[in-house]
Amino acid sequence: MRVEVLTIPEVLLMTPIKHGDERGFFSETFRADVLAAHGVRETFVQDNHVRSTQRGVLRGLHFQTPPHAQGKLVRCMRGAILDVAVDIRAGSPTYGRHVAAELSAANWRQLWVPPGFAHGYVTLESDCEVAYKTTDYYAPDCDRGVAWDDPAFAIDWRIAPADVVLSEKDRRQPRLQDMQPIFQYQN
């Protein structure tokens, strides 16, 4: 598995290796030892699978608060998405900055999004399927979000805002500047 450290070093872009022949392919999509070698020693407790039928479906930017903060290991198994992680850890040298990566069935990449980051993605094609592992269970009382179009983030979602398809929940998320700090950066 190839691992690339992004401009926010806690977020990792991982590309599992495919071994193929005339029958198809084999790929190890998760290895705890590879993550641990890059400082990720989290235990995954839940797998989620999401299907979006239209181009432009934007899910995010979401996070869970302590005591149920989640890290996520995200991959796209059908279609293509732009996956985004925003640092929302007060005091972090990268606070309010984001990283983005295209994840697709073709490029086979995965993104590690640690706790303390808001996460979201937009579908770049119709009929996308995304699967992700989480480090804590879904806890509705801890479910939060931040505005996907917060101008402070300056995220280029690669979809015109008029073409973005949002849930009602995601239409109402606050800007980062309007939220009390939830996560604190720790060296």
How far apart CA 126 and CA 116 sit, in angstroms, is 30
Reply yes or no on whether 121 is catalytic: no
Reply yes or no on whether 62 is catalytic: yes
Which of 62, 98, 119, 121 is the catalytic position? Answer: 62
Which of 98, 121, 132, 138 is the catalytic position? Answer: 132
How far apart CA 173 and CA 62 sit, in angstroms, is 9
Q: Which helix (H) or strand (E) holds 179?
A: none
HEC per residue, 40-72 = CCCCCCEEEEEEECCCCEEEEEEEECCCCCCCE
**Enzyme catalytic residues:** 62, 132
